[in-house]
Chains A and B, each alone.
Chain A
Amino acid sequence: MAEHLAQNRAAKRIVLAKVGLDGHDRGVKVVARALRDAGFHVIYAGLWQTPEAVVRAVADEDADWVGLSILSGAHMTLVPRVLRLLKETGLANVGVLVGGIIPEDEVPKLLELGVARVFGPGTSMPEIVEFLKQNSGARHD
């Protein structure tokens, strides 16, 4: 514990955002809190974000990860758009996570597009934290 009393220099930065039009932000807020408690610097961008706004936040915040929470069913439109914008902005190396209601047969498609992991309902917080700790997110060159 004592080592954290100084500035947490090694803290990974993650942008969490709700893209699309659904207003259910309870899940993403629970994740935000769990990640903070695990030592992450969580930048919460809030509800109703456009893919453009999310990518701008990832850029300016120099984030290692971005977590998209989608419960509206529009993931097959929104996620590819975020991935494309990240690539166009020069942020292809930022790790992308998706959470929310994603039909099982669409998970492989998202992973193929470049999503690092999809976390569905029932995911435990330690599972998310463990995944982020095992994987590095953005490469820092």
Chain B
Amino acid sequence: MIERLIERFRHGDRLALARLMSLAARGELPRDTLGALQSSKPARVVAITGSGGVGKSSLVGRLITVVRDQGLKVAVLACDPQSPLSGGALLGDRVRMAGKPDDDGVFIRSLAALSGQSALAAHLDTMIRLCEAFGMEVVLIETAGAGQGDTAVHALADVVVLLLQPETGDDLQREKAGVFEVADVLVVHKADMPGAEQAFAQVRAAAELATPPVPVLKASARTGEGLAELWRLVAGRPLRRQADQVDKDLLVAIQEELARRFESALAGGVKGVRDLVSRWRQGSVSSHEAATAVLDLLLNEP
């Protein structure tokens, strides 16, 4: 069954993508599936976050058009809270993302996030990989709200866009929420509302003091103000996940090289290493001491 789905997925069958997403959401995707679906090109993963009612869905809806106008295929993963009491969920983000239903370059999926625990649906990383493998070039993640200290999104996305709106607390409130640590771009949304100018000035003053400074702009899904500029900023950011992955790949390569040298030192009888290993076996040096000493020896070996 899974083989057939993968085959259909490879041929661009979006029903197969939809079904694999369901399996992933339930944590039932067989482990080697992603390996079988190697994606050619990493997507740009952009998270849109901010508290409830700040206009995330509406902004995502408008961004879909901006991204499509660039000729890029886009997937939207919209998270809404799941009721902790019934296990049910009312997923209403689609309403504000009306687009062209015949546009195959847009895939929108509504996901339930466990409320009170996370603003993100479980297994979102796997679902992002599926979208990538299907050929989506941009993945927009809409969080289920929350905001204060929610950093999981930072690890999943290349760019985190945090929406703020006029009349939501003073600058201390924002500082408390840790917004400058999480956000790569700050948007004062609903820029057509009264108080937007003042909020923008306050946020910008604070964002300039952050290290590194966080760009701030005004936008409105209603009027379309700031949307093109927002996408320009987002598209100009480095692909963070890719950089992280390169670091991890390098670390793995280093570990492998070290293991090879250690084995060859033992087999080839590098005396210092053998001595250390036997003293460690007898318990006369701790694992940490032995490891550090072995490492010194290995690194000084030609």
Do A and B pair up? The answer is: yes
Interface-facing stretch out of A56-64, A71-79, A96-104 = A56-64
Interface size class of B (residues with CB under 8 A): 20 to 34
Instruction: Tell me, yes or no, whether B21 is within 8 Å of chain A by CB.
Output: yes
Residues of A within 8 A of B85 (CB): 1, 4
With a cutoff of 8 Å between Cβ atoms, the chain B residues found around residue A52 in the complex are: 101-102
B149 touches A (CB below 8 Å): no
Chain B residues with CB under 8 Å of A32's CB are 90
Judge if B95 is at the interface, Cβ distance under 8 Å: yes
Task: List which B89-111 residues lie within 8 A (CB) of chain A.
Answer: 89-92, 94-95, 98, 101-102, 107-110
The chain A residue sitting closest to B22, CB to CB, is A62
In the bound assembly, the distance between CA atoms of A8 and B112 in angstroms comes to 9
Residues B15 and A89 in contact, CB atoms below 8 Å apart: yes
The yes or no answer to B83 lying at the interface (CB within 8 A) is yes
Report whether over half of chain B's contact residues are helix, strand or loop; otherwise say mixed.
mixed
Cβ-Cβ contact count across A and B, 8 Å cutoff? 103
Does B209 make an interface contact (CB < 8 A)?
Answer: no
In chain B, residues 10-60, which have Cβ atoms closer than 8 Å to a Cβ of chain A?
14-15, 18-19, 21-22, 26-28
Which residues of B, 72-94, contact A by the 8 Å Cβ criterion?
Answer: 82-92, 94
B114 and A44 form a contact (CB under 8 A): no
Tell me whether B88 and A35 are in contact (CB under 8 A).
yes
Binary flags per residue of A1-22, CB closer than 8 Å to B gives 1, else 0: 1011111110101000000000
Interface residue? A84 (CB, 8 A): no
The 5 closest A-B pairs by CB, nearest first: A8-B87, A4-B87, A46-B95, A36-B88, A53-B101
Known pairs A42-B88, A43-B94 / 17 extra A-B pairs, C-beta < 8 Å: A4-B85, A6-B114, A7-B27, A8-B87, A36-B83, A37-B83, A40-B89, A41-B89, A43-B92, A44-B95, A53-B98, A59-B14, A59-B15, A60-B14, A60-B18, A60-B109, A91-B15
Pick 16 A–B contacts, CB within 8 A, sort by A: A4-B83, A4-B85, A7-B26, A9-B28, A11-B89, A38-B86, A38-B88, A39-B87, A41-B110, A41-B112, A43-B91, A43-B110, A44-B90, A44-B94, A59-B15, A61-B110
Q: Which A residues have a C-beta under 8 Å from some C-beta of B?
A: 1, 3-9, 11, 13, 32-33, 35-47, 50, 52-53, 55-57, 59-62, 89-91, 140-141
